[in-house]
Structure 1
């Protein structure tokens, strides 16, 4: 741009000079060239100084562009002596522009940066480079730069080992206020938690395996120190369970379930209770209204969050992996809570990637590991806050000058190097930190104390029917063609949501073709003229005279009348969610088309029930449950699926086969969930419990059942163990079987393979066995450290372009 401007200026000046005097050379043009060249040199020097601290890769790109600009200018204005008078250049031929290879440019810039670098930092880098015998990584250079302005980071890991000793659990006395007798390992954790609350962390992570009684261990801590108020944040499905456990095992503890539209907003009222129970969704909603506000009558109104105004005695995050993504509102809402002590409870604190642990460390306030540091000054902050994304609010330096110590010391080395070199060192640092912050015991380690029956995991593999195979192959061809288009166009990175959607459709097709063909978005495409009918939830047939209960479930008027007439209870419960039924039998018929958005009708409303066909996976489930009923009619089973529409089809097929079924879904209120769970646990004739994986895959205690069926595989390897351990936990006396239903020659085989690799990495990371890391293969590490998008792309690639050695056997068993 500068060279073009100079050329235009010269042309204008030469034109004006020709009009006044054609024989006399213009001195003005000479001065203009010299001034422009001087201005360019000044700009180059300022630009070089401002970019001195920028990342090397980014620097190379900018320098390459600036070098091209220089060459362009030199090509137009002559050789390097561009500030010499034009008259002195008349006899010279036009100089050719200088050319440099990218390697030469990078070398020149590296030498320039080395000359301008702080001598102390340069000396430190050379010493470390000589010690390691290799080039330094960007993270290692950043570490040296940080230590100049933050000397406390010089030996932060050595100080951590020396100053904070690992607390060895010893058995504490049984709390007198607790009605239940603690097991020996639970008394050990009580002792450990008391010591942790006195230490530098003021809390920690209790990461015992699922089913080992983390809830009762925390309750024992609460009764041993009755200071109030305490806040417990849990998934919606677990809130009522917490209330019931506290009421059962303690005396005199005041408990408030802070949930629903009528919850108290007075902080003084909340502080009267020993324990306040709430959910992650309520906490996030309060925080969002406080920080961003909500629209009302065309205005944005903010509202203070009561839970964020109180300084709690303790804050306890149940299933703390709910805040694993640090950028979500839920995580931010938890970060802003104030308390004396903080605890994280999770049987799976690490699920997909090592970066997920940051949120737990950040919540606990791990200093300095969760802080952001500036490389140019002594700025240190818990928050990533920049004005217009350009300047730090505290020190004014740019984002490139700031780095998170966790990312620099642990996350980045592991992501870039795996278990080699800097990555191996980072894993050791992570272990040093977790040993002082986390207590984890497994069922195998405490088998003598627990006395649990064995658990057997069975992977049942079935094949598509010919019709299903044809449909899956057709979908597979479409997906392969679409993904191939992304690859050819180089737009894979820009189509994350589309790739995820393609994978989801392939997973649904493996469950039942109607999940794709009759989905709400595709029904009109594959079945022209298809409409969604109103379905009675009692008979699963079209409701000709539909009415709606207060709990929003829809029934045919005659069906619900017969149900009420046959009920023995004075106030019968809803046949779906089992809360006390409230319904107006004389209400006008419900018309969903005119009433707009109504309750979810499900996939049954888009099917012709008379001609509907089941699928291979559903029939495999029915076969297993039927055989189990013949062996022992009292055995209860839980069926998990991620897809609620698939649960609709399973529900319909099981009822047709004569099974008594109840369901738990995410749309239910805490009271409805609790009522449904109690109905399943207390009724012998209810033998099958259909549970949405997201709604009931964690925090439930369902020891009345002894069979678990996992109908579809999820990316997260922690989801399956969480679901299995809803029944394999304290209080279980029957042998437990967990059956995974997998369709061969489908994407599910690839997902299972990915789960196994991730699970091996997670177990090694959280294990107290130092040799566990050495048993990992590079493939195990790669599936764990790669970003989620890369993992999804790998799965789709392997599904679209199959490779050998996925699975060959028809079934496999694992005993634990």
Structure 2
């Protein structure tokens, strides 16, 4: 196994005992107990942030109460304005929300699991605690565009007519209102993109003012309706608050600019990768003192990442106390009055290990060795950070090789930009902003800013030069998003700079290199870039059979730039002569010009998105010299076993790689399985039809879904079997995918099969998943939260004081040379 793919340092779990000794802390400077050397410690620069004031901590800790123990007769009742009754856990949630508004924090994080009714609880709060100030009465709700219509429907359907709320959607054509009109509504709904765009405009105004103090907006459209100085909201609710987890994004910064009396975050996943993601939510909530980045890092981020078990455990315990003070979380298995919140059949997750064929094994090990050599070169040159994107691509290739060797070169390099001819892609590459060109030339590898995965050939936006992976690009420019959500004028925006993205004004890195850096194109790939001739037809007639280029497993490695690497490795990666198919001329007779090179699989894949005839032609090419893989064989075996055990069961199959789903379609067709497909490249109507057909047709047993396109927002509870073909870095993305089947109205136990190859990069991904899950589950542990709630404020304060004293004593020891 390669040694360079290391999971993070293990974070220790807490011990089972949660009892704390009583502690009476002094009212004077808490640091005084560190001794005579405190003055020297305080004189050192940047050793620690300013100490928390005891009164701030005390007010924060006073929010912690054992609300789960409230008897039914003392719980909040359903607001009389609501037309549907709250469930018991929702009544407790309403009580908690009201308590948080009335307390020191004036807000918090509602982190209930998906399906437990966070929206209903928030609506109950809006109805229970209306503003008494007619000038500041509006609740602003910020949510993904896909949830705009859902919020509007919930408000319309769950509020009695005589208590109806005035609602406005500030998005698309609804952005004509200024704040003076918005503040007359009870609820205003807007999106993260709209919020980010306003902050961008506000910053541009600030720059214009600095350059010209007399500058004033000259257009009626130049208004700030959300983040302007006069925009004061009664309450702000951030729905799907994981969307602001990255504090560096414009959307997160815009959320923090909002002015409001009360603030709430709602998310089922307040952390998905690390503790650091929690900071952005705390910053939005303005939870003192930890909305200061230095304080947060000092108290939580750094000690939890440290290799000291003592610091790990102390910081984790302190984090659990903080979360209990600001966050409420219940899961589907949580107990209320001795019974689960909801009753749903259990899910069973099983690892299904497969073994490479001899060819797959030799190819994978050769690629692994080559990747190790490249990584060691970065390590030796101390350039790993600068080559972070390249390292991600190295890992991407290894992950692809675990699935099917064709993914590495034949099917993965080309982006899937629909309906844009090759010459247009080149023209677009010439229109990238000069500064963006310079930035892209220096960039070593790419990471998608949406899914954070490595990208070999990103889609590049014109003119800003920012980019995403092909699948995330398809999601953000989906023209049916606005129609689906009631906003026909919905426009896509760059996830980094928020400039509008025109789906027709994009290119990809391959064509950027061809135009701006042709010297970087490997010799053996230059002909491939010129394969498409000017007189090619776009006809739907794909019925003629063609001679095929090499589609065997040979020749799949994309060469790295260093020609001095091991000759042995190069020999291993070079295709054997017996596997090389020489191209043959199609023309008859002597003197005929040789036929133009045949289209590559990647080119056919791109064309397959146009119509069904092109799709059939692409699948025929895949079948002609079809090579299976260990994972595909295991998948077909599982489908056969499921069919034999119960012919009525339906199966969802997830993969990150749409090309792997393409390859899987070949044996599915050959064995006459009725199946549907769902991925980001499909039109919205086609995706909706696929879901309906899968759910309604009794003979449709299989659904192939791209993990990035279908991990959330789908109801596929007719399926009780889930196959995950490849592990993703983030375990919570996989959890969301599984929840497409394991959800309300599911009638069967859900069986999840994770297909893995041992002794490969997948082992490391699984280890990383387990560390992330352990860290975040420990921080959000519901049982620990209940134990914490039963402690007094003084006992809880002991945690915070003792950590401070430990840190100061460590500094003292360092100073006096112990």
Decide which structure has the larger Cα Rg and report it: 1
Change (3 A) 1:217 1:127: closer
User: Please, which of 355, 364, 367 is the counterpart of residue 472 of structure 1?
Assistant: 364
Paired residues for 1:13-162 under 5 Å: 128=34, 141-143=47-49, 146=50, 153-155=52-54, 158-160=57-59
> SS of the residue aligned with 2:175?
coil
Structure 2: runs of 5 or more not aligned:
1-28, 132-136, 207-217, 415-455, 457-509, 511-520, 544-601, 789-818
> SS of the residue aligned with 2:176?
coil
- Which deviates more, 465-474 or 215-224? 215-224
Change (3 A) 1:532 1:544: farther
Match of 2:400 in 1: 508
User: Please, which of 187, 192, 196 is the counterpart of residue 280 of structure 1?
Assistant: 192
Give me the whole-angstrom Cα distance separating, in 1, the residues matched to 2:711 and 2:45.
Answer: 38
Contact 1:319 1:699 in 2 (8 A): no
Contact 2:170 2:189 in 1 (8 A): yes
Change (3 A) 1:236 1:527: farther
Match of 1:704 in 2: 718
Contact 1:212 1:730 in 2 (8 A): no
Change (3 A) 1:720 1:315: same
Change (3 A) 1:248 1:757: same
Deviation at 1:497, TM superposition (A): 1.2
Match of 1:695 in 2: 709
Match of 1:438 in 2: 327
Match of 1:428 in 2: 317
Contact 1:697 1:722 in 2 (8 A): yes
Contact 2:608 2:618 in 1 (8 A): no
Give me the whole-angstrom Cα distance separating, in 1, the residues matched to 2:290 and 2:766.
Answer: 34
Contact 2:60 2:105 in 1 (8 A): no
User: Please, which of 613, 635, 643 is the counterpart of residue 621 of structure 1?
Assistant: 635
Deviation at 1:329, TM superposition (A): 1.6
Give me the whole-angstrom Cα distance separating, in 1, the residues matched to 2:184 and 2:648.
Answer: 45
Change (3 A) 1:448 1:658: same
State whether structure 2 residue 360 is matched by structure 1 residue 448: no
Paired residues for 1:668-679 under 5 Å: 677=691
> SS of the residue aligned with 1:420?
helix
> SS of the residue aligned with 2:320?
helix
Paired residues for 1:194-273 under 5 Å: 194-224=98-128, 229-243=138-152, 245-246=154-155, 249-250=158-159, 252=161, 262-267=173-178
State whether structure 2 residue 770 is matched by structure 1 residue 756: yes
Match of 1:183 in 2: 87
Give me the whole-angstrom Cα distance separating, in 2, the residues matched to 1:673 and 1:364.
Answer: 37
Give me the whole-angstrom Cα distance separating, in 1, the residues matched to 2:537 and 2:99.
Answer: 61
State whether structure 2 residue 666 is matched by structure 1 residue 646: no
Cα deviation digits, residues 211-244 of structure 1 (max 9, x gap): 3332333344345457774443334554555455
Change (3 A) 1:342 1:691: farther
Match of 1:330 in 2: 251
Structure 1: runs of 5 or more not aligned:
1-122, 148-152, 295-299, 373-403, 535-541, 547-554, 558-592, 775-816
Match of 2:552 in 1: none
> SS of the residue aligned with 1:351?
coil
> SS of the residue aligned with 1:728?
coil
Give me the whole-angstrom Cα distance separating, in 2, the residues matched to 1:439 and 1:699.
Answer: 23
Contact 1:257 1:277 in 2 (8 A): yes
Deviation at 1:437, TM superposition (A): 0.5
Contact 1:517 1:527 in 2 (8 A): no
User: Please, which of 412, 415, 439 is the counterpart of residue 305 of structure 2?
Assistant: 415
Give me the whole-angstrom Cα distance separating, in 1, the residues matched to 2:187 and 2:643.
Answer: 43
State whether structure 2 residue 67 is matched by structure 1 residue 168: yes
Deviation at 1:256, TM superposition (A): 5.6
Contact 1:698 1:726 in 2 (8 A): yes
Match of 1:806 in 2: none
Match of 1:730 in 2: 744
Cα deviation digits, residues 549-571 of structure 1 (max 9, x gap): xxxxxx989xxxxxxxxxxxxxx
Match of 1:55 in 2: none
Give me the whole-angstrom Cα distance separating, in 2, the residues matched to 1:334 and 1:511.
Answer: 40
Contact 1:237 1:696 in 2 (8 A): no
Contact 1:319 1:346 in 2 (8 A): yes
Deviation at 1:444, TM superposition (A): 2.9
Cα deviation digits, residues 230-262 of structure 1 (max 9, x gap): 4433345545554555555455566666555x4
> SS of the residue aligned with 1:264?
helix
Contact 1:237 1:670 in 2 (8 A): no
Give me the whole-angstrom Cα distance separating, in 2, the residues matched to 1:659 and 1:735.
Answer: 23
Give me the whole-angstrom Cα distance separating, in 2, the residues matched to 1:458 and 1:234.
Answer: 35
Give me the whole-angstrom Cα distance separating, in 2, the residues matched to 1:320 and 1:476.
Answer: 38
State whether structure 2 residue 308 is matched by structure 1 residue 308: no
> SS of the residue aligned with 1:493?
coil
Match of 2:295 in 1: 405
Match of 2:284 in 1: 363
> SS of the residue aligned with 2:652?
strand
> SS of the residue aligned with 1:464?
coil
Give me the whole-angstrom Cα distance separating, in 1, the residues matched to 2:169 and 2:696.
Answer: 24
Give me the whole-angstrom Cα distance separating, in 1, the residues matched to 2:184 and 2:303.
Answer: 48
Q: Which has the higher contact order (CA 8 A, sep 6+)?
A: 2
Paired residues for 1:505-584 under 5 Å: 505-518=397-410, 519-520=412-413, 545-546=539-540
Change (3 A) 1:126 1:183: closer
Give me the whole-angstrom Cα distance separating, in 2, the residues matched to 1:543 and 1:614.
Answer: 31
Give me the whole-angstrom Cα distance separating, in 2, the residues matched to 1:128 and 1:424.
Answer: 21
Deviation at 1:748, TM superposition (A): 0.7
Scaled by the length of structure 2, what TM-score is found?
0.59
Deviation at 1:191, TM superposition (A): 1.7
Change (3 A) 1:308 1:726: farther
Contact 1:457 1:739 in 2 (8 A): yes
User: Please, which of 711, 716, 721 is the counterpart of residue 735 of structure 2?
Assistant: 721
Give me the whole-angstrom Cα distance separating, in 2, the residues matched to 1:220 and 1:533.
Answer: 61
Give me the whole-angstrom Cα distance separating, in 1, the residues matched to 2:106 and 2:227.
Answer: 19
Give me the whole-angstrom Cα distance separating, in 1, the residues matched to 2:641 and 2:166.
Answer: 47
> SS of the residue aligned with 1:204?
strand
> SS of the residue aligned with 2:628?
coil
Give me the whole-angstrom Cα distance separating, in 1, the residues matched to 2:43 and 2:302.
Answer: 10
Contact 1:409 1:426 in 2 (8 A): yes
Deviation at 1:747, TM superposition (A): 0.7
> SS of the residue aligned with 1:749?
helix
Give me the whole-angstrom Cα distance separating, in 2, the residues matched to 1:479 and 1:710.
Answer: 25
- Which deviates more, 706-715 or 209-218? 209-218
Cα deviation digits, residues 647-682 of structure 1 (max 9, x gap): 444456545544444444446788886676556545
Aligned-CA RMSD value: 4.5
Give me the whole-angstrom Cα distance separating, in 2, the residues matched to 1:254 and 1:664.
Answer: 37
Give me the whole-angstrom Cα distance separating, in 2, the residues matched to 1:424 and 1:138.
Answer: 26
